[in-house]
Amino acid sequence: MVLPQIKNEKYSYADYLTWNDNERWEIIDGFAYNMSPAPNTKHQTIAVNIASAFHSYLKGKPCKVFPAPFDVRLAKIGAPDEEIETVVQPDISIFCNPMKLDEKGAKGAPDLVVEILSPSTSKKDMGVKTLLYQRYGVREYWIVDPVSDTIMVYLLDNSEKFNLINEYKTTDKITVSIFPDLDIELSDVFEN
């Protein structure tokens, strides 16, 4: 497994804003992670299929879906750029509070995050980012494995801990917990 390039000094969102636009980076607790290489075709197909399902459902509703690249600054609303030590680009994020959205992206936890595993990000997505999203109060977290065509769904419980609700396969459908009237057929998600 290839790990993302990590720089050894701590950075803030203010530093991030000065970096080259030709490279994608995330900062987690002040440490920079290179997001290269770009996702493969299957990853992008899955991302489009999931984002499209959410987009269709959310038309006319207050919640909005944002596919990557979209900067999510995990910090308190009003925190200055120099104090923000975490900015991530989830594959898909959904925000229901318009106060968290601004011209730079979003500041605060999304209501739902989808991360699609790739060889260069799977360890981070299943470890560091799971704990990060839990810590900041993401209500629902999906980890999509394009190799096994499965989706693990985690929900934040009353004690602010993630619980694995289920691991869904291609033949299943997911009822989205934060939108109980939305069912997503996984055969549509994993189609070629």
DSSP state, residue 81? G
| Residues 156, 154: Cα–Cα separation, whole Å | 7
The single residue listed with the structure tokens 């990000």 is 121
Residue 116, SS3 per DSSP:
strand
* C-beta of residue 79 within 8 angstroms of C-beta of residue 116: no
Tell me, what's the pLDDT at 192?
A: 65
pLDDT tens string 40-55: 999 999 999 999 999 9
| Domain edges within the chain | 39-68+88-189
Burial of residue 31, with CB atoms counted within 10 A of its CB: 0-12 exposed, 13-18 middle, 19 or more buried: middle
What is the CATH topology of the domain spanning 39-68+88-189? tt1808, chain A (3.90.1570)
Phi, psi for 132 (deg, rounded to 5): -65, -50
> How many Cα atoms within 13 Å fall on the side-chain side of residue 146?
22
3-state secondary structure of 129: helix
pLDDT in tens, 124-169: 889 999 999 999 999 999 999 999 999 999 999 999 999 999 999 9
Maximum CA extent, the chain: 46
Tens digits of residue pLDDT in 101-115: 999 999 999 999 999
Q: Which two tokens stand for residue 49?
A: 């299929």
pTM of the model: 0.92
Phi, psi angle pair for 119, to nearest 5°: -55, -35
Beta-carbon contacts of 88 under 8 Å, excluding residues fewer than 6 positions away, are 26, 27, 28, 71, 72, 74, 129, 132
Does residue 5 have a pLDDT over 60?
Answer: no
